[in-house]
Amino acid sequence: MKLAIDGGTPVRSASWPSWPPPLSAGQRELVTEVLESGLWGATQGSLCTDLAAAFAARSAVPHGVTVGNATLGLFAALRGLGVGPGDEVIIPAYTFVASATSVILAGAIPVIVDVDPVDLHLSAAAVEAAVTPRTAAIMPVHLAGSPADMDALTAVAVRHGLAVVEDCAQSHGALYRGRPVGGLGDAGVFSFQASKAMTAGEGGVIVCRDEGVHARTWSACNLGRRLGGAWYGHPEVGWNLRLTEIQAALLLPWLDRLEEEIARRNAFCEAVERELGRLSVPWGPASAGSGAGGAGVSSSVEPDGSLPVTVVPQPPGTTLDSRHLLMLRVNAPVDREFLLAAMAAEGVPLDGGYPPLGTMSALTEAGARVEPCPAVEAASRTVVWVRQSMLMEEADGASDVVEALAKVLGADR
């Protein structure tokens, strides 16, 4: 079958669902209400407070603070926990750059360590190996919607007296051993940036258990004021990092449909995994280059008997993966750029994912320390992502993903 990249017919011509999904009636009503009330300002209405309280309750902790975005939220949480200049914060090398830049913003040093080679989340062993007397905190990232293995990571943190800031930017609604993410560490930070499971274009929320951490975090986001204190009283150094009422009006009604959307994405992912299990491997020295995807297949790599493409598994303890992304590991010997271009031509665009954080010179120039990260280097060569908007398609759309992969890789179905 001729590949679409070579002028053949694409597997899929229909578009994928767009993101964000259409506004709900509840969103329209609440945004209109805020606009008509005239109370748009961040400190005027009560929706930001309601949103913070809703996220705190969902995370099973008492406190929440809304914030302009999660980069600043992670920074404010670190400030709230007393992390500052000279401190080291251990973060995974397979994450969005903001996990590192929030640490730099706090004046601290990001220490970039490897992930587990199987599930690609922060490795407790790598954290343990990177702890120094200057380590103040660790930042597990609940990557792609699945929680990091918090029991293992918390054990290391407790052993060394480290704070734990959960980067929940991609994991709204996810559960770890039956417990909601965000409330598993000392602070958790969710993002409402445009690509996230709930969005107001930008935005974020910080949740935490401790009253003192809450007061300091709130103060960092509110120009150093004291909670309940005077408008022109600024006992701390702080910034204006606030969310607005219009953003909160877009977000609060979303909570009513979050679980339904997570279930929809999970159904799609399960269908992809089922169908991937039926692909077989025709390549090898005799057949490499002879399949439909032969142009991109390297004959120098021997097949290892694994499936051509597998779903990256969740870390131990995942009860509910919120499926921000579906991460696929391509075991087939294929040129990566060819794969991405050929899949896009087939109407199934995939994302190439993160480069290793430690390869970003801006971070090392800013003082980041980088530990050896072989698992992340391998992931940056082999892992691709199906984006959240595509996961919102009916589950039978999963066939298009697998059919296009089979066609491009020249695999038998």
| Six-digit token string for 161 | 């007296």
Binds ligand PLP by CB under 6 A, chosen from 55, 75, 94, 96: 96
What letter does residue 312 receive in the DSSP assignment? P
Binds ligand PLP by CB under 6 A, chosen from 83, 115, 169, 262: 169
- Contact between 69 and ligand PLP by CB under 6 A: the answer reads yes
Catalytic residue, chosen from 196, 216, 265, 407, is 196
**Span near ligand PLP by CB under 6 A; candidates 43-51, 75-83, 90-98, 178-186:** 90-98
Distance CA 91, CA 141 (A): 8
Residue 403 identity (one-letter amino acid):
E
Distance CA 219, CA 364 (A): 30
- Contact between 191 and ligand PLP by CB under 6 A: the answer reads yes
Measured from the CB of residue 143, what is the shortest distance to ligand PLP in angstroms? 7
Answer whether 265's CB lies under 8 Å from 36's CB: no
| Six-digit token string for 129 | 């190996």
CA-to-CA dists, residue 2 to 173, 275, 346, 353, 408, angstroms = 42, 22, 11, 27, 9
Measured from the CB of residue 217, what is the shortest distance to ligand PLP in angstroms? 16
- Contact between 167 and ligand PLP by CB under 6 A: the answer reads yes
**Is the Cα torsion angle 262, 264, 268, 271 positive or negative in sign?**
positive
DSSP 3-state assignment of 173? coil
Nearer CB in complex with ligand PLP: 98/220: 98
Look at strands 88-92 and 309-311 and give their pairing: unpaired
Binds ligand PLP by CB under 6 A, chosen from 71, 123, 247, 388: 71
Measured from the CB of residue 102, what is the shortest distance to ligand PLP in angstroms? 7
Per-residue mark of binding to ligand PLP, 126-145 (x: CB under 6 A): ---------------x----
What letter does residue 412 receive in the DSSP assignment? B
Does 196 participate in catalysis according to the annotation? Answer: yes
396: which strand partners? none
Per-residue mark of binding to ligand PLP, 29-68 (x: CB under 6 A): ----------------------------------------
Binds ligand PLP by CB under 6 A, chosen from 59, 66, 95, 222: 95
Answer whether 216's CB lies under 8 Å from 236's CB: yes
Supply the residues annotated as catalytic: 196
Residue ranges that bind ligand PLP, judged by CB under 6 A: 69-71, 95-96, 98-99, 141, 167, 169-170, 191, 193, 204
